[in-house]
Amino acid sequence: MPELAYVNGKILPISEAVVSIEDRGYQFADAIYEVIASDNGRLFCLDHHLERLERSMVALHYPPVSLAEIESAVRSLFDQAALPRAAVYIQISRGVAPRNHAYDNSTLRPQIVMTVRPIQEAPASKREKGISVISVIDNRWGRCDIKTVQLLPNAMAKQKALDCGADDAVFVTEDGIVREGTSSNLFIVSDGTLYTHPLTPEILPGITRRVVLDICRKLRYPVIEQFFTLEEAHAADEVFLTGTIAEVMPVVTIDDEPVGDGSVGDISRSLYEELKRRMRA
């Protein structure tokens, strides 16, 4: 039974899973989510994902939801699907109510839905040769640190990249500060030092970012959590994206200009290998 859904306590085939049209997630993007990857039959960093899920719910003042119940639902869904390499998607909305901007938490029951599916792997050629990205102006709201389903700017930016023949897009401010990718964080490497955007409301505190920072400490790679510009990214020796699905994805061109010598760098490669080793351990 490969692809399954979970809707408020029931596990069923994805094609039979439905939610109300008055779900606030559907009408107001009043919902938060997580994506957890597995490798070798083991969910990676489930604890970190649950921690961030709770942080998102607290930030949006959701009615209380039991994290223990969510964890056990994730585990039973994942076990039933029996997919060694899967992505579990969790979405929690504030609840269902007649459409009204204001909400009354005392009458709302958060709606919990999940899916489990095989991961669509990035083509091996992209991992070996790297990907191309375009830069787009960051037109998202001011709380990108909360993992909400308000992803239209991300979806439009990703599609624009594909329409331009690139693989992905990175959000950049009017002043040229690089924020993050459409579903990933971004690192650059200059003269042996790694730089990544600090944790501020303008970016998602990525779990993969966190793991990669930990790997850098173990491998004694110097890292600075500091703003950098598009110009600095262009001049870097290496650039890579980090994300649950992207893992560590080398970027070899930005806006059609090569990064470094245009090939995948040693640091990006070693971080990817160590991340995969941890995922499969």
Q: Which is nearer to ligand PLP, 73 or 170 (CB)?
A: 170
Structure-block tokens of residue 52: 């961030």
What is the nearest approach in angstroms of ligand PLP to the Cβ of residue 178? 12
- Which parts of this chain interact with ligand PLP (CB under 6 A)? 35, 180, 183-185, 204, 206-209, 242-244
Closer CB to ligand PLP, 96 or 131, in the complex: 131
What 3-state DSSP class applies to 180? strand
Is 158 a known active-site residue? no
Contacts of 53 (CB under 8 A, 6+ apart): 32, 34, 67, 70, 90, 92, 147
Residues 6 or more apart whose CB falls under 8 angstroms from that of 141 comprise 150
In whole angstroms, the minimum distance from the beta carbon of 241 to ligand PLP comes to: 8
Token pair of 236 as six digits: 């870097």
Render the burial of 57-74: b for 16+ CB within 10 Å, e for the rest.
beeeebeeeeeeebbebb
Return the number of the residue (95 or 138) whose C-beta is nearest ligand PLP: 138
Distance between terminal CA atoms of the chain?
A: 25
Catalytic residue among 10, 126, 129, 147: 147
Tokens representing 206? Answer: 């990525």
Q: Which is nearer to ligand PLP, 38 or 242 (CB)?
A: 242
Q: Between vectors from CA 254 to CA 250 and to CA 260, what angle results, nearest 5°?
A: 65
Q: State the minimum distance, in angstroms, from the CB of residue 147 to ligand PLP.
A: 7
* CB 243, min distance to ligand PLP, A: 4
Name the residue nearer to ligand PLP (CB basis): 34 or 238. 34
As measured in angstroms, the least distance from the Cβ of 34 to ligand PLP is 8
Active-site annotation, residues: 147
